[in-house]
A and B are shown apart, each in its own frame.
Chain A
């Protein structure tokens, strides 16, 4: 997504700057007759036509991309809960009632995981850059974020909504396990 946006933007930027530079050439065309032509070209052609084309394309693209990121129900979805607080994250697991961890969220690798995000005090935001976008933890609300780690391993997570003096260090880790380790975790054999 980033490269599409970047190259598109770079192209538009160059176009505008080129037009601007060319506008500084020395031959003026400031006659009443030319005025109508200028309006056609600049206001209608570039102002309306060009802008609408770019924006429409972009919006459709953005919505489609967003659609793909939506959580879909499925049989193998694992549900976990993430509770933000100043300045710790607490996690609990639908598949292992009573099990709770701090700072480390355990998930199975290769399976979609729904994280139910909420907060017990101020607003935080749950963000694991390598796994998904961010979603806020808001007191009284539960937001669900779909993540999926392809490979087992540790993924760094941070809180991404300013929460006071401990904000900079408000981090956590997502630990993705392979099948066997996940089973062991659920049975309480891994801490």
Chain B
């Protein structure tokens, strides 16, 4: 088979259907990645227009361009769109597109999940944009502090759009994170051991784990606040034992790591591009990975620096202040490692490099002002002023947008297969950089003079008018620059001449495939021996195209084949069949959307109905995987034969569940944190009376736990030995039912809106109930799968997945219900 015929055959297998329908049903990382990038860019344009409105309002004193009501929506939506609908989805899109190519694999671990995430993102984002157009957008600032955002301060629907829309969008962040972790761990070219991982993959692995641990507190906070707004459960209302500070803790437990979640992908881009531009290798690969991981861990200990002015005790402040300055250490290590890389190499000044230099100059300033505001006394003066606005834009634009522009121009030839011909990019560079500093440099000064953020007009005699005029002019210059970039990219993507395949002489695998990328990425999967496979072997692209790697023969079955490797060593482990195009993701996202819209417009019958719909679709989704027969070893080329992934003891679904449960566990932990926080800090505690556990509840919880644990193990053992699992299933069901009954006694014994204590008990019990239900659903699914012949002694992966979930349900039942009953027992 020659290269062209191989290309055609693979293209038939991997590409999406033609036309717009193809876009709805595609699950291919090339499509989904591009769709993410385009959507994120669209949201950036909207957010940018809002920024221009802000700058127009503040250009002159006492402007009456927008009233306070409109202005509040505009700045809130600007911040919200930029953080949730632009920054995160942009790097997700870049990663979804590039990661498989850098890792030398054909697609991501869960193609349908990335499609589902994309649709959740677009639908959730559309809800917010609708609110903006209808003039009912969130207006209490991007961190939505209650009581201002609760029914007390905002009786209208505005904050609901935020709480529900952003939580909807968050689904896509979580699913992308699970996807990225499992892909980096299991889907790589054979031979790519962890120490040969492209540096970008390391960064994204760290970022993905951070998403899984940082987003759950916010998701929990949003759920609690929405429950308060919709049903009067008083989590944040002081009179009934709630505390608005709880929201601030939950929000910043997310919000601070979020900053690094946005910065680290950019750092990954810099670490990838810089050595190529400097014609050398990255200095201190291991140190950089360690620094990034340290940064990730440390960033979870800093959230309180956003709350210096809330009356935290001084010792606490000293601790968090020290931790906040410490975070500059790993950042410093990375920066010096990058400069050292340029130092030892022969740097060339192409446009991507220009953007990286702009990144250095800007980000370092942002980092230094960051260290300043980490000083408590300094922050007491500058908190909530334009000094902070300036600081955060230096970090976000300097530390994220500039590296992303470097990425854009670096990978543009890879995306388009063309050589940049019209050089608008250089002009745009200067407009943006000069415009940016023109906008924000002097705003530091306005902040020091006392200009508060979020004010809708400036006074004529305040002394800030000139600074603000300059800032507005700078803002418009920057906007022109961004417009030029858009034009530049559009023009160069459509009409420029075709270019060489690897114009920068890079060494990573994404440059070993044709540009623009074919849908299958690699015609055959290469064996990797170093961090820069293309530098080892400049003929690699040819070999790949000729099918000399693994899986070089497109199967007649028309199935999408890829390889799964062992985590640490990168030894090939299994041949995996990935799912093909499907409308399931978009339909499931629609059903999920009905759930959120039902909550939003208070049409509560729609909520359980769509939850059922989602569950049914999930069953359908999972049903289509797997195999009904045992298979022998499969030839994967290069003389290697591998078992199919359905024979894996720990299938990719198990890994995915593991990391999803990590996020779930963090959510549960945050809930316990909230419970303890209210207990110790909130005024109006203890509650008037405690729930008395009695005997029945705890007994049924304990018995249920034992039955569930035992049942799932009995079933597992039976299936491994080829025997009937029904006894185990029956025990498991009985156990889960008993757990559910125990949780229901809690619901029956409390009034959900009486006191924050009761409300918290409701959520804890509800959480236990939900997980018992999920585990029950999985058990039922498993039983049907056994009946239908999908499970055998050699195909027990699904059993392991179900067991993971039922073990988790047991664990949260014991811990959660224990926490519920403890006060009553102690009394």
Contact = CB atoms under 8 A, between A and B. Distances in A.
Interface in A3-54: 5, 9, 12-13, 16-17, 19-20, 22-24, 26, 28-30, 34-35, 38-39, 41-43, 46-48, 50-52
B580 interface: no
Contacts of A161: 145, 309, 384
B310 A138 contact: yes
Given A50-B332, A162-B140, A28 B454 contact: no
A129 B446 CA distance: 13
B601 interface: no
B360 A58 contact: no
Contacts of A19: 336, 339, 343
B270 to A, nearest CB: 13
B360 A20 contact: yes
B274 to A, nearest CB: 10
A5 to B, nearest CB: 5
Interface in B250-293: 279-281, 283-284, 287, 291
A39 B284 contact: yes
A119 to B, nearest CB: 9
B365 A39 contact: no
Interface stretch (A90-98, A165-173, A180-188): A165-173
A30 B72 CA distance: 54
A136 to B, nearest CB: 5
B340 A43 contact: yes
B385 interface: yes
B378 A47 contact: no
A133 B379 CA distance: 8
* Main SS at interface, chain B: helix
B771 interface: no
A158 interface: yes
A163 interface: yes
Contacts of B244: 123, 138-140
Contacts of B317: 66
A134 B380 contact: yes
B149 to A, nearest CB: 9
A136 B334 CA distance: 36
Contact of B347 (A23, A50, A121): A23
B339 A16 contact: yes
A22 B343 contact: yes
Nearest to A61: B375
Contacts of B683: 140-141
B681 to A, nearest CB: 9
Given A55-B329, A168-B455, A134 B377 contact: no
A133 B381 contact: yes
Interface stretch (B101-109, B320-328, B410-418, B730-738): B320-328
Contacts of A24: 342, 347
Interface of B: 68-69, 72, 139-141, 145-148, 152-153, 238-239, 243-245, 279-281, 283-284, 287, 291, 309-311, 314, 317-318, 321-322, 325-326, 328-329, 332-337, 339-340, 342-347, 357, 360-361, 364-365, 368-369, 371-372, 374-381, 383-385, 448, 450, 452-457, 682-684
Interface of A: 1-2, 5, 9, 12-13, 16-17, 19-20, 22-24, 26, 28-30, 34-35, 38-39, 41-43, 46-48, 50-52, 55, 58-59, 61-63, 65-67, 69-70, 86, 121-123, 125, 129, 132-136, 138-141, 143-144, 158, 160-168
22 contacts: A9-B371, A16-B335, A20-B357, A20-B360, A22-B343, A47-B291, A48-B329, A51-B329, A59-B322, A59-B325, A65-B377, A66-B377, A122-B152, A133-B377, A139-B238, A144-B311, A162-B145, A162-B384, A162-B453, A166-B68, A168-B68, A168-B455
- The list of the 8 closest CB pairs from A to B, nearest first, reads A133-B380, A140-B238, A42-B340, A51-B332, A143-B311, A47-B333, A62-B375, A23-B342
